[in-house]
Structure 1
């Protein structure tokens, strides 16, 4: 069953369809949020995201655009959390040190990648996560981030350059 059909059925009040949508998208959303925040904050923000989804689903006009809509909510929730913490700490930058490595990561290369990603600025990290790790096309990344496709491409270029520089600093060579 497609997401579009599940959304329509959920909008009509079918609880099983909503439960299936949540089950289908629970891990992709948590993984996206986890790549932007540490595990404790990811759990809290993910719960906020699903609350927003359940509340907003009846107003979703184009059920075929569920995934970009969902990731837009996730992006805003992550940004709101970071913004609130930055304001609280009185900082205007330095989001890179906010992510903590997940001890459950089994592979050394994966742990190194997560560590390097955490050192990137939030905007570049976000684009890399959406494009490469969530496999979203440039157009959907643009919709989610509410920026032109050209800006997504330029952020991807900058993010790849920064990632390459960080990897070279850690001793990895292309």
Structure 2
């Protein structure tokens, strides 16, 4: 069943249709939020996003636009959480846990090393670049959808992707991962 049909059925009050939407989109949503925040904060934000979806779904006029609408809500929730943290005094900021930790060449199997290095590299990107890299490469959304979610032109998405790739390439080269 298509997302569009599920959205319409959920708007009509079918609980099973909403449950199917959650099943279909919970993992991609959680993946996006966890890559933008640490796991502890991410779980709370994901819950907030689903609550906002429940409240706002009846007002969604174009059911075909559900994915960008969902990720726009998630983006605002992540931004709000980051804004709250940046407003706190420096000592009150929780330490950001870096996925993958410190990665050294030759430490583990190449496949695991490559994945760990990529996860750590993406986590180290500035927020703007990290966001578009996650949306485009990890969630496999189109440039247009990424632009809609971020509220920026497609050209800006392309430049942030380019800058993010360049930053990752530089980091991997410095750590000796160039092939």
Q: CA deviation at 1:99?
A: 4.4
CA RMSD of aligned residues (A): 1.9
- Post-superposition Cα deviations, 1:89-135, rounded to whole Å, max 9, x if no partner, equal 359xxxxx7342169xx923211111111111000000100000000
Larger Rg: 2
Output the CA distance in 2 between the equivalents of 1:99 and 1:167. Answer: 20
Output the CA distance in 2 between the equivalents of 1:120 and 1:8. Answer: 38
- Post-superposition Cα deviations, 1:20-62, rounded to whole Å, max 9, x if no partner, equal 1011111110011111111111111110111111111000010
In structure 1, the residue matched to 2:99 is: 101
2:88 aligns to what SS in structure 1? Answer: helix
In structure 1, the residue matched to 2:41 is: 41
Output the CA distance in 2 between the equivalents of 1:82 and 1:99. Answer: 14
In structure 1, the residue matched to 2:144 is: 139
Q: Say how many residue pairs are matched.
A: 168
TM-score calculated relative to the size of structure 1? 0.91
In structure 1, the residue matched to 2:50 is: 50
Output the CA distance in 1 between the equivalents of 2:117 and 2:77. Answer: 26
Q: 1:99 to 1:153 in 2, by over 3 A?
A: farther
Output the CA distance in 1 between the equivalents of 2:142 and 2:177. Answer: 28
Q: How does 1:9-158 map to 2 (within 5 A)?
A: 9-89=9-89, 98-101=96-99, 107-158=112-163
The answer to whether the 8 A contact 1:52-1:73 is kept is: yes
Output the CA distance in 1 between the equivalents of 2:25 and 2:89. Answer: 32
In structure 1, the residue matched to 2:105 is: none
Output the CA distance in 1 between the equivalents of 2:100 and 2:120. Answer: 9
Which stretches in structure 1 are left out of the alignment for 5+ residues? 92-96
| Deviating 4+ runs (over 6 angstroms) | none
The answer to whether the 8 A contact 2:100-2:120 is kept is: no
